[in-house]
Amino acid sequence: MAIEFTKYHGLGNDFILIDNRSSSVPVVTPEQAIELCDRHFGIGADGVIFALPGENGTDYTMRIFNSDGSEPEMCGNGIRCLAGFLADLEGESRNKDSYRIHTLGGVITPQLLSDGQVKVDMGLPSLLASEIPTNLVPAQEKVISVPLEVAEQTWEVTCVNMGNPHCITFVEDVAAIELETIGPKFEHHPVFPQRINTEFIQVVRRDYLKMRVWERGAGITLACGTGACASLVAGVLTGKCDRTATVELPGGPLQIEWSEVDQRIYMTGPAERVFTGKL
C-alpha cells in the first residue's frame, strides 16, 4: 500500500507527517520509522508523526516515533508541524484555527495564527521528582538546582516535565558544550529511569536565553519546543529569567511565556512545509 507523507520542520527540527486518520494504529512500525528517518538511506527526519482519530472528545490524536524507534510522550516542535499538516489536510473544509490534540503527555491545543506562526497551549509544567521521573531527590520534592555528577563533572540541574522529561543546566557558554559527548551520558544516567532530554542554557538577558539540546531518542537536534518551555520554567524557578522570554535555538527563536494568570506555558513559533512524497 502506498503511503503519502509530508515533510515539515519547526526551526530545523524535522518530521515526516503521515495522514493516519483512517486508523487508530500507526501505519508505519517503529522499525520502519528508523529507516525512514535515516538521512542517508531514507527521507531523513528527527521523527515520524501520525495524525490519528481523536480520543475522549479531542479533534485528533498525535503519536510520534523518534529516529531511534522509541516513542516519546509529546513533541513541541512536532505538534506545531502537526497543526500545519492538519490545516493542509482539511483544506477549504477547515472551520477553526485551533485543535485539541490527544497525546501521551495529555491534551495539547495548538492555534494557527494569522502571521503563519503557531501558538501552543502546552499546559502546566510538572515539577515533582515522581513526575519527571527521577530518583535524584525524594519523589514528592522538586528538582531545583540539585547537583548531579555526569562525566566526572558536577552539574547543577533543574528538572521539568512538559509532557516529556527534561533536565536543564545553566552554563556560561553554551557553544563550548561538547554535546555529542555529554548528551548521551545525561540521557542514560541511572537517576532517570525513562531517560531524559537535556538542555544546556546560557542566559544572555532575563528575557533572552540561548539553548542547545540533546533529545532523548533523537540526539542533537536544531530545536526542541518542550525543551524551550522547560528551560524557561527552570530559569524562573532559579531566578535567572523572566516569565516571558525568547529562547534562541540553533534553528531559530521560540517565544515562551509562563502565564501568571493561569500558570500554563505558551509556546509560539513556526511550522514550515518542506515537500510531499509517497512511500
Between 96 and 5, name the one with better pLDDT.
5
Closest CA to 235 of 170, 162, 182: 170
Residue 50 predicted with pLDDT over 90:
yes
Instruction: Please state, in angstroms and rounded to a whole number, the distance separating the CA atoms of residues 76 and 267.
Output: 8
The question of whether 224 is a catalytic residue gets the answer: yes
Band (pLDDT 50/70/90 cuts) for residue 1 is: low
Between 91 and 249, name the one with better pLDDT.
249
pLDDT-above-70 percentage for the chain:
100
Predicted confidence (pLDDT) per residue in 242-272, tens digit? 999 999 999 999 999 999 999 999 999 999 9
- What's residue 269's pLDDT? 98
- What's residue 93's pLDDT? 86
Instruction: Please state, in angstroms and rounded to a whole number, the distance separating the CA atoms of residues 117 and 77.
Output: 12
Residues 6+ apart with CB under 8 A from 32: none
- What's residue 117's pLDDT? 97
Closest CA to 161 of 249, 233, 239: 233
- What's residue 25's pLDDT? 97
Q: What is the mean pLDDT of residues 177-195?
A: 98
Q: What is the mean pLDDT of residues 181-187?
A: 98
Q: What is the mean pLDDT of residues 185-194?
A: 98
Instruction: Please state, in angstroms and rounded to a whole number, the distance separating the CA atoms of residues 18 and 81.
Output: 11
Answer left, alpha or beta for residue 34, where phi above 0 means left and psi between -120 and 50 means alpha: alpha
pTM of the model: 0.93
Predicted confidence (pLDDT) per residue in 191-247, tens digit? 999 999 999 999 999 999 999 999 999 999 999 999 999 999 999 999 999 999 999
Among the listed residues 75, 159, 229, 241, the single catalytic one is 75
Q: What is the mean pLDDT of residues 71-87?
A: 96
Residue 119 predicted with pLDDT over 70:
yes
Among the listed residues 37, 159, 167, 224, the single catalytic one is 224
Q: At what angle do helices 225-237 and 76-90 cross, to 10 degrees?
A: 140
Helix H, strand E, coil C: the string for 107-170 is EEEEEECCCCCEEEEEECCECEHHHCCCCCCCCCCECCCEEEEECCEEEEEEEEECCCEEEEEE
Cβ count within 10 A of residue 53 = 14
Residue 168 predicted with pLDDT over 70:
yes
Q: What is the mean pLDDT of residues 100-127?
A: 96
Mean pLDDT for the chain overall: 97
CB 234 within 8 A of CB 125: no
Task: Output the CA angle 38-164-150, nearest 5 degrees.
Answer: 80
pLDDT-above-90 percentage for the chain:
97
Residue 59 predicted with pLDDT over 70:
yes
